[in-house]
Amino acid sequence: MSRIGFIGTGHIAAPIVRRMVRLGHEVSVTTRNADVSAALAASHGVSVAEPQDVLDASDVVFICLRPSVAPGILESLTFRADHQIISVMAEHSEAALLQFCAPATQISRTIPLGFVETGDCPLPVWGDSALIAELFAPDNTILAMPQEAGLNAILTASAFMASQLDLLNTVAEWTDAQIGDANVSEAYIRTLISGFLTTMPRDTGSLKAERDGLTLPGSLNRFVMEAMAKDGCHDTLTRALDDVYERLTSQ
């Protein structure tokens, strides 16, 4: 059992906290966010304390702050040299974290998504992949990155999620406009996508293969895909990913 603390307790931290408690670790969280930390204390018995007290009571420390406020908060705290730091912030490089969390030198970066709590979450890691595996494997996939730039590229790829959900919501809203039943429309789109992805082969190249299988000449899927490509959707996405990657690598 490890003593695990969370600096910042919001949407990203909560499922990790619940997982750590389920695994039997001793967990303490900060009062930031007060509503979330209070709910976790009530449901999972975690300790709630001020940030410095959380640090003092922990050996492994998750940094779950908004990147914009992280420097000021972290530099106001006193870390120990033996602290094992896990940053789940997409921004702030290892070099920056070494500065914020000095004298701690054991820095790992990863991004657990909400479903890490139940498993089957990909976890790209820069730093101590063995520590991340200890906390999140075997039911989640640990992807050790040979370079920090590789982690930034993977994190950039994850930035497309909201836009994909937005597109799916557009399809659901269009369907609702035709049939007049939002519940049926959204349920169909949600289960269609989740079922397709769950049963899809996981070998390299399967994304392209499944796409090609759905877009035979004259198919409805091909018509929609080509219309979106003609309007520059792929070019817009690539430019946005380039901009996000530049943002992450400049931190």
Domain assignments of the chain as residue spans, ordered by start:
3-145, 161-249
> What are the residue ranges of helices labelled H in the chain?
13-22, 34-44, 51-56, 70-75, 94-100, 129-136, 148-158, 161-179, 182-199, 206-214, 220-230, 233-249
Please give the Cα distance from 87 to 149 (Å, whole number).
15
CATH architecture of the domain with range 3-145: 3-Layer(aba) Sandwich (3.40)
pLDDT at position 90, please?
87
Give phi and psi for 120, each to the nearest 5.
70, 35
Q: Residues in the chain, how many? A: 251
pLDDT at position 176, please?
97
Torsion of CA 133, 94, 67, 70, to 10 degrees: 100
Please give the Cα distance from 223 to 104 (Å, whole number).
55
pLDDT at position 249, please?
86
Please give the Cα distance from 26 to 70 (Å, whole number).
24
pLDDT in tens, 136-179: 999 999 999 999 999 999 989 988 989 999 999 999 999 999 99
The candidate with the shortest Cα–Cα distance to 89, out of 248, 250, 237, is 248
pLDDT at position 82, please?
97
pLDDT at position 17, please?
96
pLDDT at position 189, please?
96
pLDDT at position 11, please?
84
What is the pTM for the complete model shown? 0.82
pLDDT < 70 stretches in the chain: 251
Contact 46, 17 (CB under 8 A): yes
As to burial, measured by CB atoms within 10 angstroms (0-12 exposed, 13-18 middle, 19+ buried), residue 15 is: middle
